[in-house]
Structure 1
Amino acid sequence: MEKETIVLYPGMGVSHLAPMVQLAKQLVQFGFSVTIVTTAVPHQPGSTNNTSTDISSPDPSISFHALPAVSLPLPKNKHPICLNYDIIRGYNPELLDFLTSLSADSKIRSIILDFFKTDAISVARELEIPAYLLMTTGASALAVCLHLPVLHHTIEKSFKDMADTHVHVPGVPPIPASDMIVSVLDRESSTYEGRVRNFSQMTEADGIMINTFEALEPRAVAALKDGRCVPGRRMPPVYCIGPLIAGIDEQKESQGRHECLAWLDSQPKRSVIYLCFGSAGAFAPEQIKEIAVGLESSGHRFLWVVCSRDDAKNVSKPRNEPDLNSLLPEGFLNRTKDQGMVIKSWAPQTKVLNYESIGGFVSHCGWNSTLEAILAGVPMICWPLYAEQGLNKVLLIEDLR
């Protein structure tokens, strides 16, 4: 009997692709074949199709298909988030053609879309394929996303102008307005408009899968299931399918054991503070110097993943290849050689966090990192930088404590 196929359509970037790959590995255990459809990012020169070459699977039941690149008008002054929505819509004809050809050869059971790709729901509807969303962050963030259109009609100010006011969302602790999703802080911005539209479309899905587990976020999950986040509207069924973690670690570690693991082997139990800020997080050179001064002055052991970007707040810009000698204070590496270890750009994080020598994690609070730290039982120091990381910080401090 021929296997039914499930199509996965991940968002752009490693943090959105990695959970999709982990989901694919779970789905094949239930007897499905899985096709992961990837897209290039025209406004990011040199980008590959969702970095699918960095995350792959040896399982023959999982295949990658790169949609043909599309030619789109990309205004230079348009925000990257809005450009991404344009790109998603621009790829719909190519997605339709691919699904049509695929359905001629095999039965497509469903398509699972990244939650930013709600514009592709219309393609699934045209072909009468059930369309589900994968929320690659948690239930609390999903509650905020779904409730944003309600807040849009009840709050007239921009969140950025609300000072110490708290925003109230069903199932979520009160959120300081400044900790709302970065792209919706300014009501007058194009990104705010795009997000409201995107989040309004989420209720059109046949169901929403969340990269969480119910015991972690019971209040948010209950509010979602009860429909309290979308009063007066249909709430799709929600499914907690997490934690979906790892992915890129597995691929890169297959190339050899990272040197930092040998260093961690030699450190006392719970003695090392680990600093890492995700696949897009970075600091300006002057901030990196300040962090270095703080670490050296603390006297504590540290493992620090250094990433730099000239404009640290613009996560759409590529990060620089770190030149540690120029970024760090003169003599820092020599003075701290017995105290800590500095590595460039990437560490095998799931393995690092599960080392007994790790005593704490200074994190940007990205959801993948948050889940990895929780599962490893490592205390976190929260330093949110962008996206929904402020919300995650609120959940960690005010709810999970």
Structure 2
Amino acid sequence: MKKAEVVFVPAPIISHLVSTVQVAKLLAERDERLSITFLIMKIRVDSQVDSYIDSVSAACKLIRFIDLPEQEPDPNQPSKFIFSMIETQKPHVKKEVSKLVSQSDSSPDSPKLAGFVLDMFCTPMIDVANEFGVPSYVFFTSGAAFLGLQFYIQALHDEQKVDPTEFKDSDAELALSCLANPLPAKVLPSAVIDKEWLPVLLGLARRFRETKGIMVNTFEELESYAVNSFSNGNTPPVYPVGPILNLNSDDDHDMESNKSNTYKDIKQWLDEQPQSSVVFLCFGSRGCFGADQVKEIACGLEQSGCRFLWSLRQPPPQGKTGAPSDYDNPQEVLPEGFLARTTEIGKVIGWAPQIDILAHSSIGGFVSHCGWNSVLESIWFDVPIAAWPLYAEQQFNAFEMIVELGLGVEIKMDYRMKLNAEESESTNVTAREIERGIRSLMELDKDKKMKLKEMSERSRKALMNGGSSYAWSGRLIQDMVDNML
């Protein structure tokens, strides 16, 4: 059987890259006709991507990785750099794919180019796929309802001539075909209501419409209402193939030095705690707060009386962009005596191996920024979530989890950080609000617990032979292979 070459172009963002590699593995393991090549964009200052690719290359022989030329981030436009970088990488992608096509032409046994799979941010590469006369598919690393929102906002702007930035600070409620409940404008993603970022969001949605299909990191049972909303033929076919999670922690335990040792210390502490007794606070790879908000969190935790494991990260220096780092001494930012008073029930850590922690039997609740990967992980491990979104589409994800799906509780659903900045646009969440949210999380009613447990079981069944995501990925593979006929 002739092999089909599928070229993946992931975004150079570690959270996107990890899930894109996982979905590629899933497809390659599913059908031996698929030959998969990744073209890796690199930012010179980001060693995380290099470390991750090295670890995957050593462990997985089903995927070939080709590095594209490294680029320096633009200090004047750090937030938009990813998008300008993707545009400038088009000639390099074309060059590498030309080599693949030449190899295929020169050898009858070589796989034939069947299409591109592009990260949701890499839509400029559709132009390159078109030059080779092959279709493009998008891998959408967020949920189906958020994909529906992007199409809704784009149609609202382009067809009804409504300016979505006017929803900023509005009490309006929007009726979307991908949601059963009206969406409050106050939880719209930051990019929708920001004049600088709205054109980027609109441009992505317009290009999604040009693709042959969109893989979404979700499963039909979780977002059935949203998935069904795409059946009207107004968009390309949507394939819910998730949950795509990186459950193999060996892939990233060595991405930074001492991480494995750090987890041993955390695991030892968790092993000593009663089952489902610990609330875990973690806010993603970019989640951090100013000193005043940190003190409110500490007071809220202490007042709740709950056992806790808190991943506390330090913001980049004032005026600098970049990822948070660990504190050398967290005592300097915590209330005086906090660590001593809570030593019996709590542990403050820096970087957190989130998958390993959520999988531990002593974890009973998860205070999260509601990044989509974190949402899927909380469901997979049957750990209820308390929503404290920060940026991007996290406010929307929080609304979906709490209101639409009834699978979580609220800390502050409309809390919002400035786009690509560490300062908050919202007033600090008070210790009292945090305490209330944590108590509500750790004393979750039986109906919500049962609902989450059922969804957790469905998330696992979806990926098994006969499951919904297994069936959808089979249809997608067939479509890719048919492209070569």
User: How far apart are residue 363 of structure 1 and its match?
Assistant: 0.6
Q: Given the alignment of the two structures, is residue 368 of structure 1 paired with residue 380 of structure 2, yes or no?
A: no
Aligned to 1:16: 16
User: Residues 1-400 of structure 1: matches in 2 within 5 Å?
Assistant: 3-29=3-29, 30-31=31-32, 32-41=34-43, 46-48=45-47, 51-55=49-53, 56-57=55-56, 58-70=59-71, 74=74, 76=76, 78=77, 80=79, 82-105=80-103, 106=110, 107-153=112-158, 154=160, 155-156=162-163, 158-172=165-179, 173-186=181-194, 189-227=195-233, 230=234, 235-246=235-246, 249-253=249-253, 255=260, 258-310=264-316, 317-323=322-328, 324-347=330-353, 349-400=354-405
1:191-215: CA deviation from partner (whole Å, max 9, x where unpaired) = 1112111111111111100000001
| Richer in helix (by share) | 2
User: How far apart are residue 356 of structure 1 and its match?
Assistant: 2.2
User: How far apart are residue 70 of structure 1 and its match?
Assistant: 4.9
Q: Matches of 2:71 and 2:250 in 1, distance apart? A: 31
Q: Matches of 1:388 and 1:137 in 2, distance apart? A: 9
Q: Which amino acid aligns with 2:240?
A: C
User: How far apart are residue 6 of structure 1 and its match?
Assistant: 2.1
Structure 1 residues 14-23 or 210-219, which shifts more? 14-23
Q: Matches of 1:71 and 1:221 in 2, distance apart? A: 39
User: How far apart are residue 111 of structure 1 and its match?
Assistant: 1.5
Query: Are residues 316 and 144 of structure 1, via their aligned partners in 2, closer, same or farther at CA, if it must alter by over 3 Å?
Result: farther
1:54-78: CA deviation from partner (whole Å, max 9, x where unpaired) = 2542111222221013579x471x4
Query: Are residues 218 and 325 of structure 1, via their aligned partners in 2, closer, same or farther at CA, if it must alter by over 3 Å?
Result: same
Query: Are residues 179 and 225 of structure 1, via their aligned partners in 2, closer, same or farther at CA, if it must alter by over 3 Å?
Result: same
Instruction: Tell me the number of residue pairs that the alignment of Structure 1 and Structure 2 aligns.
Output: 384
Structure 1 residues 166-175 or 379-388, which shifts more? 166-175
1:9-59: CA deviation from partner (whole Å, max 9, x where unpaired) = 112312211111111211221113322221123xxx6124x7142254211
User: How far apart are residue 265 of structure 1 and its match?
Assistant: 1.4
Q: Matches of 1:307 and 1:226 in 2, distance apart? A: 45
Contact 2:153 2:164 in 1 (8 A): no
% identical equivalent positions: 36
Q: Matches of 2:323 and 2:26 in 1, distance apart? A: 32
1:158-195: CA deviation from partner (whole Å, max 9, x where unpaired) = 24535211122212132211211111212xx2211121
Specify the SS of the correspondent of 1:224.
coil
Structure 1 residues 5-14 or 136-145, which shifts more? 5-14
Q: Matches of 2:384 and 2:164 in 1, distance apart? A: 36
Structure 1 residues 325-334 or 171-180, which shifts more? 325-334
Specify the SS of the correspondent of 1:246.
coil
1:358-396: CA deviation from partner (whole Å, max 9, x where unpaired) = 111101011000001111111111001011111111111
Structure 1: runs of 5 or more not aligned? none
Query: Are residues 157 and 53 of structure 1, via their aligned partners in 2, closer, same or farther at CA, if it must alter by over 3 Å?
Result: closer
| Alignment root-mean-square deviation, CA | 2.4
Q: Matches of 1:322 and 1:63 in 2, distance apart? A: 37
User: How far apart are residue 108 of structure 1 and its match?
Assistant: 2.5
